[in-house]
Amino acid sequence: MMALILPVEGTFPKWGDGCFIAPNCTIVGDVEMGDECSVWFNAVVRGDVNSIRMGNKVNVQDGAVIHCTYKRTKTILGNNVSIGHNAIVHGCRVHDNVLIGMGAIVMDNAVVHSNTIIAAGAVVLEGTVCEGGSIYAGVPAKKVKEIPVEKVEGEINRIANNYVGYAKWFSGANVASKAI
């Protein structure tokens, strides 16, 4: 089994060095990833209707979906971003050092500033701006508290770095070392 990687209207996905592309994920169209990114089992990164840009050390965990809205919203992810299992990230801007929890949804035109955690199951509504250094939880997501500096290092950075390590477990057949 190989990952489903397809061009859309002649635009192929691209990724940097040391990326892990799981054998049953889907990556299509105008998608660009930095170095040491990972797209895990059953994840979908669909740059068919608009562009998706990811910095370095972004992990898109199992079953997550990244998409956008036709001619309206792009998805831009900074460096050191973790997208939890079964999360949906759609047409939004996520800055550096962000953890989006399992099953969370981040909608069109939302902005998640750096050093922020979106709790598992939270729904960040369209156009919401999440302050940096904060935890957002609930439906709709609201700021519940500020994040101490140790938690940025202990949770956000730890998880992003762990996923770089996990990807190395699969080195060989499925680690993409060069962009297409």
pLDDT digits (tens, 9 = 90+) for 20-76: 999 999 999 999 999 999 999 999 999 999 999 999 999 999 999 999 999 999 999
Per DSSP, the chain holds a count of helices (H) and strands (E) of 2, 20
Give dist(CA 35, CA 57) in Å, integer: 6
Give the domain ranges of the chain.
4-157
Q: What is the pTM of this model?
A: 0.94
29: amino acid identity, one letter: G
In the chain the first and final C-alpha atoms are separated, in Å, by 19
Q: Where are the alpha helices (DSSP H) in 89-171?
A: 149-151, 158-169
Which pLDDT does position 177 carry in this prediction?
A: 43
Residue 178 DSSP label = S
Confirm if 108 and 72 have CB atoms less than 8 A apart. yes
pLDDT digits (tens, 9 = 90+) for 110-138: 999 999 999 999 999 999 999 999 999 99
The answer for residues whose C-beta is within 8 angstroms of residue 145's C-beta and 6 or more apart is 134, 135
Q: According to CATH, what is the number of the domain 4-157?
A: 2.160.10.10
Structure tokens that stand for 30 in this block = 């105008």
